[in-house]
Copies of this chain bind each other. A is one copy, B any other.
Amino acid sequence: MTKVIADISMSLDGFVAGVGVDLEHGLGIGGEGIHDWVLQRPRSDADQAVLDRGFEETGAVVMGRRLFDIVDGPHGWDDEVGYGHDQDQSVAPPCFVVTHNPPAHWRLGARFRFVTDGVVAAVDRARTAAGAKNVVIMGGAHVINQCLTNGLVEELRLHLSPLLMGGGARLFDGVRPTALRQREVIVSPRATHATYDVVAS
């Protein structure tokens, strides 16, 4: 059955990107470190398995407009690198972009759809597209926070990276108190992958 999952890499001090995010620095200054478990080679078997399973089980993706602008930008996604990083992009899931103003033109193809009536509608459309697979809210922080605030998130998957960023885009900012149930924790050499059920908020 489809689950709605917020799935994101985070520093121990709660940042999902560094300061200074722009089209040149999509993860912000020093933000690559938050994604070492994906980006550093050789990738560990444990990290590869987490990445494979996440990709396999995802039927649709929800993202914010600023994140879309980065992935559609000059240093963004291409035929080789996209959702799930270096997974087979020919079978990558459709992406629903939450935005007030859809772009007139964009570089990446029809796999991207623009939703102008908010996160609830975006998750709803993603759910329809996902079939039996899951909906993954991939970020940025603002969209995940909005989805948590609207009670849309059923599962939280945090990839906790061993660093303190000291600043940047903070996950969970303004989110209300929420009870979680720790369901699975996978430890790799470069991260702790922790999965939680959202119990109540």
Contacts and interface: CB of A to CB of B under 8 A. Distances in A.
A158 B12 contact: yes
B180 A12 contact: yes
Contact of A14 (B13, B174, B185, B189): B13
A182 B189 contact: yes
Given A12-B196, A177-B30, A185-B185, A164 B172 contact: yes
Interface string A140-171: 00000000100000001010101111110001
A175 B187 CA distance: 25
A40 interface: no
A112 to B, nearest CB: 30
A13 B172 contact: yes
Given A14-B172, A172-B14, A177-B30, A194 B160 contact: yes
B182 A164 contact: no
A178 B175 CA distance: 26
A156 B164 CA distance: 11
Contact of A180 (B30, B162, B180, B181): B162
A185 B158 CA distance: 15
Which 5 A-B pairs give the minimum distances between C-beta atoms?
A13-B172, A164-B178, A162-B180, A162-B182, A166-B177
